[in-house]
Amino acid sequence: MKWRGQRQSGNVEDRRGTTVRRAGIGGGLGVVAILLIGSLLGVDPRVLLGGVEVVNSIAPPVEETRPYQETDAEAETRQFLAVVLADTEDVWAAIFQDMGGRYRQPRLVLFSGAVQSACGFAEAAMGPFYCPPDERVFVDMSFFDELRERMGAGGDFAQAYVLAHEIGHHVQNLLGTSGKVHELQQRHGGAAAKQLSVRLELQADCYAGVWARHADRMRGVIEPGDVEEALGAASAVGDDRLQRQAQGYVVPDSFTHGSSAQRMRWFRIGLDSGSLAACDTFAADSV
C-alpha cells in the first residue's frame, strides 16, 4: 500500500504505557472461549454475549501508567495506522457529504495487554474492536503479529483491512444500523441474534471494501498484491477457520462473524462496487 509521506490522523490515542487490570473478574472460562473465537475483528464485545457485560465485576479497573518504549517496527506500524485512519476520514467524509450528511471522526486507541473502554474492560486476546458509546476503535498492535504468524495473513494491506473493518462498524453506528440490530438481537435472541451479528460483521467487511475502492480512486493507494492481502486477512478471521483451529471442527450455528468465504465475498463486493447500497447484508437472500 502506498502510504509513506501521506497525512497522519490526529485522532490517535496511545495508551500503551497504561497497564489495566481488573479484580474479581466474572464470567468464567466459557465466556473467555466465546470471546477468543468470536470477537476477532468485532464490534462492542457485549454483542457476542447477547448484551451481557464482557466483565461482571463490582471492582473498578486498576490502572498504572509508565513510559512506553516502542520499537522501530512498532513506530512504523503506528505511523501506518495513523495514515490509514486519516485516509478513512477523507473517504467517509466525502461519502457522507454526497449523502447530505456529516461524518463524525472516530478515535483510534492503541493499547497493550488490556484496556478500559466505555464498553467495559477488554483484553488483547479479544482482538481489535469498536466501542459505539465512546466512538473509539481499540487495537493492540500485537494482533498483527498474531495475524501474520499464526493465521498466515501478513502484509500492510491486511492491517489496513483490519482497521477499515472496525471503521465500518463506526459507519454503522453513525447510520443507526448497529443500534437497530442490537435492539433486534435483544428482542429475538438465540440463533436469530447470531445471524444478525453475522450480517453486521459482513456489512463492515463490505464497508472496508468500499473504503479501499474510494481510497484507490482518490490517491491510487493499492499496489499489486494488496487486494490478496486483504482477502487473506478476511479469510483468516472467518468463524469456520477460527473454530477449526481452536477445536478441530466447525459449528455453523454458532457463527457470529461469518465464514471465510462470506467475509472475502463481502469485502470484494464493497471493493468492486464502491457503493453502500451494495452492502445490504440484511436483505433476505444476501448471506
Which residue is listed with cell 481489535? 128
- Residue 9, all three cell numbers: 490522523
Confidence of residue 43 (pLDDT cuts 50, 70, 90): very low
Q: How many residues can be counted in the chain?
A: 287
What's phi and psi for 207, nearest 5 deg?
Answer: -65, -35
Tell me whether residue 252 is exposed, middle or buried, using C-beta atoms within 10 angstroms of its C-beta: 0 to 12, 13 to 18, 19 or more: exposed
Q: Which of 247, 246, 254, 237 is nearest to 39 (CA)?
A: 237
Spell 111-121 as b/e; 16+ CB within 10 A means b: bbebbbbebbb
Q: Where are the domains of the chain?
A: 12-279
Confidence of residue 189 (pLDDT cuts 50, 70, 90): confident
Q: In this model, does residue 67 exceed pLDDT 70?
A: yes
The pTM for the full model equals: 0.86
Q: What is the pLDDT of residues 148-184, one digit of tens each?
A: 998 999 999 999 999 999 999 999 999 999 999 999 9
Torsion angles phi and psi, residue 137, rounded to 5? -100, 130
Integer Cα distance of 181 and 47 in angstroms: 10
Nearest to 158 by CA among 114, 222, 210, 243: 222
State the average pLDDT over residues 200-219.
97
Residue 217's pLDDT is what? 96
Note the pLDDT of residue 38: 44
Report pLDDT for 125.
Answer: 87
**135: region left, alpha or beta (phi > 0 left; psi from -120 to 50 alpha):** left
Q: Which of 210, 185, 192 is nearest to 266 (CA)?
A: 210
User: Which residue is listed with cell 481488573?
Assistant: 22
- Using pLDDT thresholds of 50, 70 and 90, give the confidence band for residue 59: low
Cell of 258: 461469518
Kindly tell me the sign of the dihedral angle through the C-alpha atoms of 28, 33, 38, 39. Answer: positive
